[in-house]
Amino acid sequence: MRKSHEPIEITAYINGEVRKTAKKNKKENPAHPEETVGYFPENTVEDVKEAIDYAYEAYKTWSKTPLKERKERLIKAKDNLEAQIPDLTVLMTREHGKAISDSENELVFAVTICNHILKVIDEVMEDEVIMDSDKGKLIVIKQPMGVVGAISPWNYPIDLCINKIVPAIITGNTVVVKPSPLAPLTVSKVIEIIAKEMPAGVVNLVHGPTEVGEELTSNAKVSKIGFTGGTATAKHIMKAASGNIKNMTLELGGNDPAILLEDADLSEESITRLVIGTFLTSGQICMAAKRIYVHESIYDTFLDKYKKAANNWIKVGDGLDKGVTVGPLNNKDQKELVEELIEDARNQGAEITKLGEIVDDEIFDKGYFLQPTLVTNISQEARLVKEEQFGPTVPVIPFKDEEEGIKLANDSIFGLSSSVWSKDPDNATRVARQLEAGYTFINTHGIPGIDIRAPFGGVKQSGIGREYGKEGLLAYLELHTISYPKSGAVPVTSF
């Protein structure tokens, strides 16, 4: 028997105070749409203006607060977050749909992000001395930007919010955060945990319709936008922000290819890594493997082994149930989009193979579930290949030689991540260097292979700028050069 939960209610958080609103919205459980998980506020444009004003004032003090104190406050916030992971994990699964292990990993990873930032921030903030000699001195200092508008998505709401808020505040900025209305509950609790350890106005939280986002991205007091989401939305954000020429970090969609070379390892362990890289979080990950290209010499063998590995790993059901690895899609619209892409492929003659096991047919039929599918005999021009499906289906296409494989992989307006599979790491790296992507995995793909010590982001229409790594911190800092030339020093070209 399922455990019953009372709906929770979250609020906005402005200038250190809880802010309730007259209008509220409800968030359903995508595994059980009849169940209301909680309620979240609908702020007005005036609310977000007020939050920005408070952040703008708080910045004047926070930007001058010693780094030591900023670190101490973040450590307290991080420890409080870690202590609440068990309860937050259950809430995350209920509002999002992802498997309980996936939710737990997301929250643990959020703490990992904080620990990494605390480890490297002193080095990042140090002045860079370019020259210090009898000819003079040349240094580069780092300064915060001001108010940051942070807009996070629904697929990994905690981590993709943390990697904006924490780099912003540790470097001396203040933030106004707007989470996605499709997964607003858990992330709001996480934001409030952090905000309570900061001075009033440093971290502010608002919810609301399109107009709230437009105000956040166009307001002249906001100096920086950090956004993760769809490319279409990013275009609107860029337009709204253009009036004030704001700095931006945009981590956008991807249509990420995996290339299996002729000598790829087709062992069960290797193929299972690719299955997880494809279907974790029901495929709702920007860096998931969304197109698989396989050398024609191993194509049939690969298909057999991939189906076997997928059938062994995929258990579709309520994310709270033991053993479930693939939950529902987060929302009805996303489910219908993926169904539309699969049906389009079917109508063009593609072969659709269902994968995995449905744990409970009754729950499956009522929720936003889709059984994962493998799609073969499909054209490179099909919508399922050209568009980002963001769901539990993947096309597999053969290629005749390395040149064609690279060409097919690069045939996209996107360029977020990619992967190359080969028993020869040097050969795999040589191929990886020819791919148009911001991050390439070797013999793995997606979340299992990500390393936050290195920068992550996309090329082409997959984004601008980088998150993670030291670059993700520098993205929230202005570089300020200070030059002390000695009288009579020779021109710089002679140095």
> Which residue in 446, 438, 448 sits closest to 472, CA to CA?
438
Positive or negative, the Cα torsion across 205, 207, 212, 213?
Answer: positive
Length of the chain: 495
Residue found under tokens 């299996």? 260
Q: Catalytic residue at 251?
A: yes
> Which residue in 98, 132, 405, 151 sits closest to 280, CA to CA?
98
Rounded distance between C-alpha atoms, residue 227 and residue 297, angstroms: 42
Catalytic-labelled residue, pool 28, 50, 104, 251: 251
Q: Is 478 exposed, middle or buried (0-12, 13-18, 19+ CB in 10 A)?
A: middle
> If residue 71 lies in a helix (H) or strand (E), which one and from where to where?
helix 67-83
SS3 annotation, 411-475 = CCCCCCEEEEECCCHHHHHHHHCCCCCCEEEECCCCHHHCCCCCCECCCHHHEECCECHHHHHHC
Q: Which residues of 409-444 are buried (b: 16+ CB within 10 A; e: fewer)?
A: beebebbbbbbbbbeeeeebeebbeebbbbbbbebb
Q: How many CB atoms lie within 10 A of CB 343?
A: 13
Rounded distance between C-alpha atoms, residue 140 and residue 483, angstroms: 9
> Which residue in 90, 109, 103, 108 sits closest to 8, CA to CA?
90
Residues that are catalytic: 251
